[in-house]
Amino acid sequence: MQKNTKKKIAPVVIAVLVVAYVAPLLSMVAYAAGLLGAEGDWGVLPFLLLYAAVGGAVIVGVLAAMTQRLREIDGGEEDEASKY
């Protein structure tokens, strides 16, 4: 096992947990938006779409932060900082 493999576990686990939490919420919002759109109740639809956009942004942001953190770990940034 590489020296920095243990450091990679936490970002991946947290990203999986956040996506596992937010994805079902987004699917429920999409389902509700589909039901409301079929019945003609368009007043709530913009709020549902806004909520879905925010949830999607959370997922994309968490995945981007995880990717960036894994690159930092691979680059040895923590090892360099520990020297000082």
Give pLDDT, residue 60: 95
Predicted TM-score of the model (pTM): 0.74
Query: pLDDT tens per residue, the chain (84 residues)?
Result: 567 778 888 899 999 999 999 999 888 888 877 766 565 667 777 888 888 899 999 999 999 999 999 998 888 776 666 666
Closest to 27 (Cα-Cα) out of 46, 50, 47, 52 = 52
Give pLDDT, residue 80: 66
Closest to 55 (Cα-Cα) out of 11, 24, 9, 76 = 24
d(CA 48, CA 28): 10
Give pLDDT, residue 38: 60
Helix axes 45-75, 5-39, angle to 10 degrees: 170
